[in-house]
């Protein structure tokens, strides 16, 4: 299938599913779309048993879509920028300590906890897997997906302090998570003996520091351009050019594109409204990026639902997936507990912050995209199925219950205070 046909099918499906959810299901937008997409995919699978033509066309569509490239190289930058654009720097500054630890040490600790626990679980059930590949799985499943988190938290009415921690962590930890994944991936391909600790440190610093630096420079230059004009059409185009240019430039310079886009988005979103933008420009920029966010979110979660067609389904893989759900949650809880305990006295944390952040750590498309990038020798089919099960549980179960959980804990704490 050609690119226009694929895009048309995805947009038509997204529009149809969005209408069904808005009119009938009335679930949170991203959750409703993915649930309908999964049901749609299951319907195609059932019909495919009676009409092979339907299944052939569905498989042709999915195989024509490079999910990894579409998400990591195209959609992710736009979605991260849209989220970062509305993230207030003052709130992030106050919570910068825990957010920094959540997004760095939290990801690393979670990676090793999940990887180690799954290594022993696989061995216990007679399916031994090399430890380095288990660490790869730990790296790809540890980052929380800002795309999913942002959409769900908007409808959960979480306290601002808590929302800042979760959103701030999610905006940065996916970039760090991708870097950790790339480092472990390189070790897995070349062998532990071929990669020195110095090589790992340099690669990590290049990706993280380089990405942050590139984002600051590009954000500042774009801000200066917008400051000397007052023409909302041009300024909207400049923000679009910033995101696309950063994505390409980060790839060429081998630095983290996600981190660069997040930093540039936060810089533009906090500096421009007061200095560079008129109220008219700010209104158009906000509406443009809100529309981009909604549209790409719709396509992404429809894609996640459709990816069910390529998942290897057997009892062993499903068993490992179900076991991996509590493993991932337990590992995230332990990874967050340290930073929360460290900053609890300095900053005001709502009660049971660790529990809420653990349950609010939604996994999404980034984890699936990274799982798809694994080689066959890295147990790709197994890890892809396990990842998909965790993502589905995370979005449907955690996503639908995080709002009531937050309300229950917050209201309970208020009663005690009174």
Same domain? For 130 and 60 the reply is no
Q: What is the pLDDT of residue 253?
A: 94
Same domain? For 52 and 107 the reply is no
Q: What is the CATH number of the domain that holds 155?
A: 1.20.1530.20
Q: What is the pLDDT of residue 175?
A: 84
Flag whether 322 is in a domain. yes
Same domain? For 52 and 149 the reply is no
Q: What is the pLDDT of residue 203?
A: 84
User: How far is residue 222's CA from residue 78's CA, in Å, rounded to a whole number?
Assistant: 16
Longest dimension (CA), the chain: 66
Q: What is the pLDDT of residue 378?
A: 93
Exposure pattern of 303-339 as b/e (b: 16+ CB <10 Å)? Answer: bbbbbbbbbeeeeebeebbebbbebbbebbbebbbeb
DSSP-derived secondary structure letter, 72: I
Burial class (CB in 10 A: 0-12, 13-18, 19+), 3: exposed
Flag whether 417 is in a domain. no
Same domain? For 118 and 55 the reply is no
User: How far is residue 411's CA from residue 218's CA, in Å, rounded to a whole number?
Assistant: 43
User: How far is residue 356's CA from residue 407's CA, in Å, rounded to a whole number?
Assistant: 10
Same domain? For 58 and 203 the reply is no
Tokens 């288990």 correspond to 134
Same domain? For 29 and 82 the reply is no
Same domain? For 73 and 45 the reply is no
Whether 409 and 351 have beta carbons less than 8 Å apart is answered as yes
Closest CA to 99 of 138, 146, 156: 146
Q: What is the pLDDT of residue 163?
A: 75
Q: Is the pTM of this model over 0.85?
A: yes
Q: What is the pLDDT of residue 417?
A: 37
Structural domain total, the chain? 2
The distance from CA 253 to its chain's CA centroid, rounded to whole angstroms, is: 23
pLDDT along the chain (418 residues), means of 10: 89 96 91 92 91 88 88 89 86 84 93 97 96 96 76 65 80 86 89 79 88 96 96 97 96 93 95 93 95 91 90 93 97 93 79 88 90 92 96 92 81 51
Flag whether 418 is in a domain. no
Burial class (CB in 10 A: 0-12, 13-18, 19+), 372: buried
Closest CA to 80 of 222, 266, 212, 327: 266
Structural domain that includes position 57: 3-64
Q: What is the pLDDT of residue 59?
A: 86
SS3 365: helix
Same domain? For 128 and 165 the reply is yes
Where among 15, 32, 64 does a domain terminate? 64
Same domain? For 72 and 93 the reply is yes
């Amino acid at each position: 299938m050609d690119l226009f046909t694929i895009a048309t099918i995805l947009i038509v499906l997204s529009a149809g599913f969005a209408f069904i959810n808005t009119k009938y299901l009335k679930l949170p937008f991203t959750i409703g779309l993915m649930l309908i997409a999964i049901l749609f995919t299951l319907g195609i699978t059932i019909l495919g048993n009676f009409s092979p033509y339907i299944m052939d066309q569905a498989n042709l569509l999915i195989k024509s879509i490079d999910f990894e490239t579409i998400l990591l190289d195209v959609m992710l930058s736009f979605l991260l920028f849209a989220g970062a654009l509305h993230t207030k720097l003052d709130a992030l500054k106050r919570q910068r300590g825990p957010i920094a630890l959540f997004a760095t040490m939290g990801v690393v600790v979670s990676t090793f906890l999940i990887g180690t626990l799954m290594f022993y679980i696989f061995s216990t059930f007679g399916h031994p897997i090399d430890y380095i590949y288990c660490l790869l799985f730990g790296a790809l499943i540890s980052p929380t997906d800002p795309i999913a988190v942002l959409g769900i938290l908007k409808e959960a009415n979480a306290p601002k302090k808590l929302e800042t921690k979760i959103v701030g962590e999610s905006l940065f930890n996916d970039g760090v998570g991708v870097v950790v994944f790339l480092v472990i991936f390189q070790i897995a391909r070349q062998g532990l003996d071929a990669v020195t600790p110095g090589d790992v440190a340099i690669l990590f610093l290049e990706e993280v520091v380089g990405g942050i630096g590139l984002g600051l420079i590009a954000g500042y230059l774009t801000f200066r351009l917008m400051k000397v004009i007052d023409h909302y059409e041009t300024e909207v185009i400049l923000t679009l050019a910033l995101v696309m240019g950063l994505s390409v430039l980060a790839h060429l310079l081998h630095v983290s594109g996600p981190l660069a886009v997040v930093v540039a988005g936060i810089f533009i979103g906090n500096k421009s409204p007061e200095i560079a933008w008129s109220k008219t420009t700010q209104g158009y920029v906000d509406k443009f990026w809100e529309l981009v966010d909604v549209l790409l979110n719709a396509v992404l979660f429809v894609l996640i639902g459709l990816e069910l067609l390529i998942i290897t389904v057997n009892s062993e893989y499903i068993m490992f997936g179900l076991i991996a759900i509590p493993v991932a949650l337990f590992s995230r809880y332990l990874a967050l507990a340290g930073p929360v305990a460290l900053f609890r006295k300095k900053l005001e944390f709502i009660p049971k912050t660790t529990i809420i952040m653990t349950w609010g750590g939604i996994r999404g498309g980034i984890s699936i995209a990274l799982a798809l990038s694994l080689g066959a020798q890295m147990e790709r089919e197994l890890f892809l199925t396990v990842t998909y099960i965790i993502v589905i549980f995370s979005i449907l179960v955690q996503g639908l219950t995080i709002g009531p959980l937050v309300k229950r804990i917050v209201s309970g704490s208020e009663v005690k205070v009174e």
